[in-house]
């Protein structure tokens, strides 16, 4: 019986995706890699563009949105577990990367969901002054599994209908 693990998502089978591993025997988390090349623009480009617009009286701003990095990997695990994704410790200091949601929380029903097959996606802002190129295969974050507890009066009955942001709809 399978307990927890990683698989390649549908549509990524022939894209040479690496299943996550722990780097050392005492590592808590599994390293995840980018499934393709991605440029993460410097946030300062949009900040300066918006400042220029404000100073000229323009009220149409450039949206500052995080850049999504797809892994092509999905995870399966037990119902009383959660998978958490986090930035690598070198992300902010070496690369200027900050996850837009600080941590990513994945429930077991995200696996195989109909909208993205459970693809683990990181969302980053780049706070360095220049754009950052992430290459396919670069380690972009880490994932770890943990048990969680449910409150005494819990009675959740909802069913996931999609991927990111689909609960509560």
Reply yes or no on whether the pLDDT at 118 is more than 70. Answer: yes
Q: Please spell the DSSP secondary structure of 51-65, one letter per residue.
A: HHHHHTT---PPP--
Q: Where are the domains of the chain?
A: 5-147
Supply the pLDDT for residue 155.
85
Q: Which helix (H) or strand (E) holds 78?
A: none
Question: Edge-to-edge strands of the sheet including 103-106?
Answer: 30-33, 139-147, 81-86, 103-106
Q: How far apart are CA 118 and CA 9, in angstroms?
A: 7
Q: Which two tokens stand for residue 11?
A: 């549509």
More reliable by pLDDT, 147 or 154: 147
Which residues, 6 or more positions from 156, have their beta carbon under 8 angstroms from its beta carbon?
Answer: none
Reply yes or no on whether the pLDDT at 157 is more than 80. Answer: no
Supply the pLDDT for residue 154.
86
This prediction's pTM: 0.88
Supply the pLDDT for residue 106.
96
What CATH code would you report for 5-147?
2.70.40.10
Reply yes or no on whether the pLDDT at 123 is more than 80. Answer: yes
pLDDT in tens, 84-94: 999 999 999 99
Supply the pLDDT for residue 136.
98
More reliable by pLDDT, 38 or 162: 38
Reply yes or no on whether the pLDDT at 37 is more than 70. Answer: yes
pLDDT grade for 34, boundaries at 50, 70 and 90: very high
Supply the pLDDT for residue 167.
56
Q: How far apart are CA 130 and CA 145, in angstroms?
A: 34
Query: CB of 4 within 8 A of CB of 106?
Result: no
pLDDT grade for 160, boundaries at 50, 70 and 90: low
Reply yes or no on whether the pLDDT at 164 is more than 90. Answer: no
Question: 86: how many CB neighbours lie within 10 A of its CB?
Answer: 17
Supply the pLDDT for residue 161.
66
């Amino acid at each position: 019986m399978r307990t927890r693990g990683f698989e390649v998502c549908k549509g990524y089978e022939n894209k040479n995706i690496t299943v996550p591993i722990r780097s050392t025997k005492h590592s808590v988390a599994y390293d995840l890699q980018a499934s393709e090349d991605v440029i993460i623009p410097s946030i300062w480009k949009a900040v300066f563009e918006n400042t220029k617009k404000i100073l000229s009286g323009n009220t149409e701003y450039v949206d500052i949105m995080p850049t999504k990095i797809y892994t092509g990997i999905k995870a399966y695990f037990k119902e009383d577990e959660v998978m958490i994704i986090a930035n690598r410790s070198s992300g902010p200091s070496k690369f200027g990367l900050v996850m837009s949601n600080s941590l990513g929380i994945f429930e077991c029903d995200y696996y195989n969901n109909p909208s993205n097959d459970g693809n683990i996606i990181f969302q980053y802002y780049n706070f360095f002054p220049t754009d950052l190129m992430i290459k396919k295969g670069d380690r972009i974050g880490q994932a770890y599994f943990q048990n969680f507890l449910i409150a005494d009066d819990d009675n959740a009955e909802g069913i996931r209908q999609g991927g990111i942001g689909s609960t509560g709809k």
